[in-house]
């Protein structure tokens, strides 16, 4: 036991000599005095063990918390609601675990109990692998607001391990504290080591583990670590039947999870940003060996055809029609793409304009690697990739009057990098464009509500003299969702003049429709706030659309 006990006052009084009797030497007290240095050393060793135990438990909790976001991203995406739910549920589990652990500590604190809690935490971690996908899909089938769906999915999956691991600290403190005189110092040190474990778990997961091992391997590693600590703390090695039982549980649980495919990630590659897959399926999931479909976090992001001029998405065809006519006298346009994805449109630009240049800002180096390795992007094309966040690129490179066209394609379905929507960012784009240059970007919203679209257009109008809203079809007030193209420029665009060249030169009608000025005015006039670095509630604006998960999933 980590707790050491001295001789009580009651025991001392019983050993005292009666009146008139000659006191006899107290051999027990002498032995205790002789052993005092050993007792001090034992207490110190107890504090070391206690600190190590809470350090590991807290590190495991934070590892699971960060991995939770990656595990659920393929189904619910990554947004403010998902991370709010994860952080809140884990904190709730820790708080209730602290309370329950404190009650247990007062009545039955022991190394055996502590070891049992670690083993239970390991089993709960393994359970996460088996239930995360069914739990998330179950909740998404309920007609609930997006915030409630995220909260319930996280609660079903990650509350139990957080609760169990939250019991560790109070029980460890009870086993370590020798007397009330030193309780402050002991508790302070234990909580300091617990916090240090949380810090290490956070940095280790974000900077190393996810990119090196993948999420499911990390969860399994956490479970095995907790099993080992539980066996050591509970002194399982002293009892053969306990050791055999524990090993049987580990092996049996692992085999069961292997057979159910719990260890297999739902993608081909895991990066620090996405769960990445690709296959040979065209629109409608029809097998097509000439098409390579890129899937990020469970959402289709792009279609790459063997024909580099074939574009799968309507918004890409809108891009193509607008770009062809606006740049028809420019033989070598210089383009900047905010987001690379499957590199479908950068490839189109370079095949159409081989003397031009395309700079691509793709934050995930793994997406860049997959595009060139698996999706058929020709390395000979004049495409230059910067693996950096777009905001950092603008801040560090400060491009000024450098680009003819800037394409915004970093919005991934409902996952929107909000710092790329603000007035401050739009002004950076303005500075990067040459006179007469255009900024075209796509976003998803639902008309006629379109709260996010309205806020974005209102914001863009503060940076650009002219802002237009385009779609690849006629707008219907009953549309569940639409991919809009927002075109911004310092010069007006005569769309009527664009239609005739397309009809004459390409022999077809235009691929885009411009939202009428009165409808745009009605849209943006409902409110007056702008998206700024200090106020950018993108997830809240998209909440009605995020809840409509019955719509098809498509990216950019």
Query: Which helix or strand (DSSP H or E) is residue 55 part of?
Result: helix 36-76
Query: Which helix or strand (DSSP H or E) is residue 386 part of?
Result: strand 383-386
pLDDT number for residue 240: 63
For the packed helices 168-176 and 183-204, what is the interaxial angle rounded to 10 degrees?
140
Query: From CA 414, how far away is CA 167, in angstroms rounded?
Result: 37
Q: Where are the domains of the chain?
A: 26-266, 309-547
pLDDT in tens, 361-404: 999 999 999 999 999 999 999 999 999 999 999 999 999 999 99
Query: From CA 350, how far away is CA 369, in angstroms rounded?
Result: 19
Query: From CA 381, how far away is CA 361, in angstroms rounded?
Result: 16
Query: From CA 496, how far away is CA 519, in angstroms rounded?
Result: 18
Sheet holding 275-279, edge to edge: 269-270, 275-279, 291-296, 299-305
The CATH class that applies to domain 26-266 reads: mainly alpha
> Contact, 165 vs 197, CB < 8 A?
no
pTM: 0.79
pLDDT number for residue 27: 34
Number of H helices, E strands in the chain: 20, 12
What is the Cβ-side half-sphere exposure of residue 537, based on CA atoms within 13 angstroms?
7
pLDDT number for residue 480: 66
Among left, alpha and beta (phi > 0; psi -120 to 50; other), residue 413 is left
> Contact, 68 vs 60, CB < 8 A?
no
CATH topology agreement for domains 26-266 and 309-547: no
Query: Which helix or strand (DSSP H or E) is residue 300 part of?
Result: strand 299-305
* Structure token pair of residue 117: 């809690």
pLDDT number for residue 556: 43
pLDDT in tens, 499-529: 655 555 555 566 678 888 888 898 898 888 9
Query: From CA 231, how far away is CA 222, in angstroms rounded?
Result: 14
* Structure token pair of residue 387: 């693996």
Those residues of the chain that have pLDDT short of 70 are 1-45, 178-181, 237-244, 253, 257-263, 328-330, 412-414, 474-480, 497-511, 546-556
Protein fold of 309-547: Rossmann fold (3.40.50)
């Amino acid at each position: 036991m980590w707790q050491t006990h001295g001789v009580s006052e009651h025991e001392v009084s019983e050993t005292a000599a009666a009146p008139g009797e000659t006191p006899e030497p107290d051999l027990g007290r002498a032995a205790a005095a002789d052993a005092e240095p050993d007792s001090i050393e034992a207490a110190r060793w107890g504090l070391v063990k206690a600190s190590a135990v809470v350090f590991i438990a807290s590190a495991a909790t934070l590892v699971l918390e960060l991995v939770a976001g990656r595990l659920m991203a393929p189904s619910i995406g990554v947004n403010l609601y998902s991370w709010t739910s994860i952080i809140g549920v884990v904190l709730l589990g820790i708080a209730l675990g602290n309370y329950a652990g404190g009650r247990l500590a007062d009545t039955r604190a022991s190394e055996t109990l502590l070891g049992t809690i670690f083993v239970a935490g390991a089993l709960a971690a393994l359970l996460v692998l088996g239930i995360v996908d069914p739990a998330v899909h179950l909740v998404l089938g309920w007609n609930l607001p997006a915030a409630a769906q995220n909260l319930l999915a996280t609660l079903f999956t990650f509350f139990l391990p957080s609760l169990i691991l939250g019991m560790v600290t109070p029980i460890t403190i009870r086993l370590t504290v020798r007397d009330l005189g030193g309780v402050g110092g002991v508790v302070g040190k234990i909580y300091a080591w617990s916090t240090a474990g949380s810090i290490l778990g956070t940095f280790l997961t974000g900077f190393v583990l996810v990119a090196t091992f993948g999420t499911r391997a990390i969860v399994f590693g956490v479970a095995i670590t907790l099993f080992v600590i539980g066996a050591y703390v509970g002194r399982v090695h002293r009892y053969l039947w306990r050791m055999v039982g524990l090993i049987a549980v580990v092996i049996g649980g692992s085999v069961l999870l292997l057979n159910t495919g719990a260890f297999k990630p739902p993608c081909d590659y895991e990066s620090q940003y996405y769960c990445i897959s690709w296959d040979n399926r065209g629109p409608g999931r029809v097998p097509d060996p000439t098409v390579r479909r890129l899937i990020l976090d469970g959402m289709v992001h792009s279609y790459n055809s063997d024909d580099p001029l074939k574009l799968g998405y309507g918004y890409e065809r809108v891009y193509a029609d607008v770009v062809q006519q606006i740049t028809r006298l420019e033989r070598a346009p210089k383009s900047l793409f905010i987001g690379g994805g499957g590199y479908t449109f950068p490839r189109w630009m370079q095949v159409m304009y081989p003397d031009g240049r395309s700079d691509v800002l793709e934050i995930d180096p793994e997406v860049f690697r997959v595009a060139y390795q698996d999706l058929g992007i020709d390395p000979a094309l004049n495409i230059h990739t910067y693996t950096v966040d777009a905001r950092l690129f603008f801040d560090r490179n400060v491009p000024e009057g450098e680009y003819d066209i800037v394409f915004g394609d970093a919005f991934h379905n409902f996952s929107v990098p909000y710092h790329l929507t603000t007035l401050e960012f739009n002004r950076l784009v303005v500075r990067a464009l040459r006179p007469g240059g255009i900024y075209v970007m796509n976003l998803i919203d639902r008309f006629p509500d379109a709260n996010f679209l309205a806020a974005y257009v209102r914001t863009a109008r503060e940076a650009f003299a002219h802002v237009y809203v385009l779609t690849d079809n006629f707008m219907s007030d009953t549309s569940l969702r639409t991919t809009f193209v927002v075109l911004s420029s310092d010069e007006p665009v005569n769309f009527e003049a664009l239609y005739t060249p397309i009809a004459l030169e390409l022999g077809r009608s235009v691929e885009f429709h411009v939202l009428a000025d009165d409808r745009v005015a009605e849209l943006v006039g409902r409110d007056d706030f702008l998206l700024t670095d200090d106020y950018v509630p993108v997830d809240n604006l998209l909440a009605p659309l995020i809840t409509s998960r019955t719509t098809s999933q498509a990216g950019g």
